Amino acid sequence: MRDFRIAPSLLSADFACLGQEVRDVIAAGADIIHFDVMDNHYVPNLTVGPLVCEAIRPHTQAPIDVHLMVKPVDSLVPMFAKAGADIITFHPEASEHIDRTLGLIKESGCKAGLVFNPGTSLSYLDHVMDKIDMVLIMSVNPGFGGQSFIPHALEKVRAARQRIDEYTAKHGGEIWLEVDGGIKVDNIAAVAAAGADTFVAGSAIYGQPDYQAVIAAMRAELAK
Ligand code: DX5
Ligand code: ZN
């Protein structure tokens, strides 16, 4: 069986006490902290930058997965690497030179990934698989937490799984397949069955008082 990772999105956490929210969700059994960066340009919302990433860094040993919803991308890469990011992903439409941006992320010592909106073709992966550590499939349009899962994303997850398996069978290595948007206890099993191994969940976890109970219920679904 695949290793499954649960990545709560801080977007739905209490921003007045982020350090505590990071510690609580990891203590509740989460594996990764998903950190959504929005610029009110590439997406119509504004969140947080490297300063906040740096501020939460001492609160956990867990990987920080920085999801850049920004345009341009490149200038922020070294800043997030310095702020303690472990993984940096970006949307290919937001970068003028995708291969260069992936290279910058790798050179900065972070894992790199591309993010695919519901309407974005996976063909952006065609010539850069050697620089990819993670593929992130959006199951909502980016910009806000609490949106409904777009069912068509499952087909995209299956297609991404096939690409990853074909590539790693031939070249080795490991590429994670993350899904982001509208993931809940009642659909996480279907997302896993489609091929995902890493699950972002914002409102489903931070919207409930008992984080541990939600994460345990998600893991129970994944074990079925
Ligand atoms: C949306 C963000 C997501 C968001 C997910 O643009 O990238 O990470 O926080 O939130 P939920 O799980 O509530 O859909
Ligand atoms: Zn995200």
Domains and CATH numbers, the chain: 5-223 (3.20.20.70)
**Which pLDDT band holds residue 1 (cuts at 50, 70, 90)?**
low
What's the mean pLDDT in 50-72? 98
Positions marked active-site? 36, 180
C-beta 78 within 6 A of ligand 1: no
Residue 3 annotated as binding? Answer: no
Phi, psi of 55 (to 5 degrees): -70, -35
Pocket test for ligand 1, best of 10, 12, 64 (most atoms within 8 A of CB): 12
Amino acid in position 221? E
Structure tokens at 213: 């109970």
- How far apart are the CA of 202 and the centre of ligand 1, in A? 5
Tell me the per-residue pLDDT of 161-208, one tens digit each, with 9 for 90 and over.
Answer: 999 999 999 999 999 999 999 999 999 999 999 999 999 999 999 999
- CA 111 to chain CA centroid, Å, is 12
Pocket test for ligand 1, best of 45, 200, 218 (most atoms within 8 A of CB): 200
Q: Residue 136: which H helix or E strand, with range?
A: strand 134-138
**DSSP 8-state assignment for residue 65:** E
Omega prior to 72 cis, within 30 of 0: yes
Q: Give ion ligand 2 contacts, CB < 5 A.
A: 36, 67, 180
Question: Is pLDDT above 90 for 2?
Answer: no
Tell me the per-residue pLDDT of 99-134, one tens digit each, with 9 for 90 and over.
Answer: 999 999 999 999 999 999 999 999 999 999 999 999
Question: Is pLDDT above 70 for 211?
Answer: yes
How far is Cα 37 from Cα 43, in angstroms, rounded to an integer? 10
- Output Rg (C-alpha) for the chain, integer angstroms: 16
- Atom of ligand 1 minimally distant from the CA of 205: 12
> Quick one: which ligand is closest to 204's CA?
1
Question: Is pLDDT above 80 for 137?
Answer: yes
Atom 9 of ligand 1 has which residue's CA nearest to it?
A: 145
Q: Is 72 exposed, middle or buried (0-12, 13-18, 19+ CB in 10 A)?
A: middle
How far is Cα 210 from Cα 189, in angstroms, rounded to an integer? 20
